[in-house]
Amino acid sequence: MCGQTKAEPGGVVRTAEDGGGEPLDGARLAVSTAIEGSGEIAGAREVARSFLADVQALHGPALSGGARGVVPLVVSELVTNACKYAPGLCLLALEVVDGAIRISVWDSSATLPTVLESDPGRIGQHGLEVVAALCESLTAEREPLGKRVTAIVAMA
């Protein structure tokens, strides 16, 4: 699959490039989609599950069961926050990079999210706290229009 890009229903764009080396080192798999409104959060999780099936087919045992559970959860939390706190579309991108899955969500709000201190008595607003605990890294950066929140989940 050398440089193939495939558009699917729902605006999902899949890209696969084979670098000619070992699958874990030489292949790049990515998917991106636009999401409009909280009614599409379940669809974002499905995009993540479909992406993970592609990753499993390409990378085999390098993808752990833990990653298969964590990635849809992280996608759900990040997309939910984007839909809740920013007007308009948000963009979801998933990509395999250096033995990890990079989950990136762009939205139109320039306000950076804050991971709150752990508080078992607090009702709600634990999403980023959970994401930060499950991921190798969680970053948020302002962009010329809005912001991008990126989480890295180890494949193994």
Model pLDDT for residues 62-79, shown as the tens digit of each residue: 888 899 999 999 999 999
Poorest-confidence range of 3-17, 23-37, 101-115?
Answer: 3-17
Decide: 154 and 100 in contact? Cβ < 8 Å: yes
Q: Which two tokens stand for residue 17?
A: 């490039």
Beta strands 100-107 and 89-97, pairing class: antiparallel
CATH entry 3.40.50.1370 includes domain 4-154: no
Q: Which two tokens stand for residue 108?
A: 């139109």
In the predicted structure, residue 136 carries a pLDDT above the cut 60 = yes
Query: Three-class SS of residue 50?
Result: helix
- Res 12: pLDDT: 54
Instruction: Determine the average pLDDT of the residues in 23-42.
Output: 76
Cα–Cα distance for residue pair 11/115, rounded to 1 Å:
31
When comparing pLDDT for 118 and 148, which is higher?
148
9, 17, 118, 124 from 81: Cα distances, Å: 24, 31, 18, 12
